[in-house]
Amino acid sequence: MIGSGKQRFGALALAVASCFGSAAHAQVATGDTSQKKIALSNSFAGNAWRQSMLKSWGAVSTAAVQDKKVAAAPAFTTAENQVTEQAQQVQNLILQGYNAIVIDAVSPTALNGTIKKACAAGVVVVSFDGIVDEPCAYRVNFDFKGWGEAGVDFLAKRLNGKGNILEVRGVAGISVDNLMHEGVLAGLKKYPGLKLVGSVNGDWTQSVAQKAVAGILPTLPQVDGVATEGEMSFGIAQAFKAANRPVPAMIIGSTYAELNWWNEQSKNGYQSRSLSNPPGAVSFAFWVAQQVLAGKKIPKDVTINVPLLEISQEQLQAKLSATPQGGISDVTYTLPQTVALLDKK
């Protein structure tokens, strides 16, 4: 679980660096997958994170096809973010002869019947980000609950354990949002001086978050901190600014707009930290699917947590300079790096 404080974040970074440093010794499965087809089934593409995820998938899959690692690896995105639509999409991929499906699922449970059919047909299923709990599927994810709890730890440290907290959640009903909310509640239990005074859904989108926060602010007392779930901090800040309220402490997302806003505010003494789930980690899920097809034995009874991306105040300017305008700070995985992390686990 991702904990609070610079020591834990530093230890995480050291562990990841150590893992990547041993990538040359990873046990890469070498079975021939040159004729295999891997598909991405994506439930939603309405924010910068999902758009960046799709770009990362496109980059890793294009290179893998060129290198003859696989025969094809297209991405498919549903239009309505609905269970029935994604279930039909997966069924179509089974009929079209895909050997593996990486799925960012709309629900952790509602697709289980369809996933079971895919496994019964011999299809390797790797759930990523929005994971499923069907036992036949592999699970690649982030420690979302730990992320939510770490955000509260950060607020408690900044506020000396006392203050009013507004929670800005993601998309209602999505497993990721539920896990992060659990983390926020777990964090608040540790700090009785922190009081939750309101909660809204920002849908992991700047404009939606801004509108939602603007709507609830007139009903709230002073807000000292915001517990948020990535890619919404810029919209949240704009809502406070429009209401002529000071922007509270919060963990910042990793989009260019958020990092640039944070950098500008830091000139006036605003100190923060960014913690996010890099969309490029979909490359990790891709290589998991390829490696299973190549014969690597990976357990299905555990969730493989990909490290979160942390940006400290000291790293901000360098990370901002490396992030394209309109883009997002990111991490991608090569095949050796993926296998090194798998073997370390």
- If you average pLDDT over residues 124-149, what whole number do you get? 96
pLDDT of residue 26: 66
Let me know: does 233 contact 155? Beta carbons within 8 Å. no
- If you average pLDDT over residues 160-183, what whole number do you get? 94
Cα separation, 178 vs 29, whole angstroms: 35
At residue 197's C-alpha, the angle toward residues 193 and 201, to 5°, is 130
The 8-class DSSP code of residue 201 comes to E
Beta-carbon contacts of 164 under 8 Å, excluding residues fewer than 6 positions away, are: 195, 197, 220, 221, 222, 223, 224, 225
pLDDT of residue 301 exceeding 70: yes
Let me know: does 332 contact 56? Beta carbons within 8 Å. yes
pLDDT of residue 25 exceeding 80: no
Total number of residues shown for the chain: 345
- φ/ψ of 75, rounded to 5, equals -110, 145
Cα separation, 80 vs 153, whole angstroms: 36
Instruction: Say if strands 100-104 and 194-201 run parallel, antiparallel, or are unpaired.
Output: unpaired
The 8-class DSSP code of residue 74 comes to -
> What percent of the chain has pLDDT above 90?
86
**Amino acid found at 287:** W
Confidence of residue 306 (pLDDT cuts 50, 70, 90): very high
pLDDT of residue 180 exceeding 90: yes
- If you average pLDDT over residues 67-75, what whole number do you get? 98
Confidence of residue 230 (pLDDT cuts 50, 70, 90): confident
pLDDT of residue 54 exceeding 90: yes
Domains along the chain with CATH numbers: 31-142+279-305 (3.40.50.2300), 144-276 (3.40.50.2300)
- If you average pLDDT over residues 307-332, what whole number do you get? 95
Residues facing 128 on adjacent strands: 140
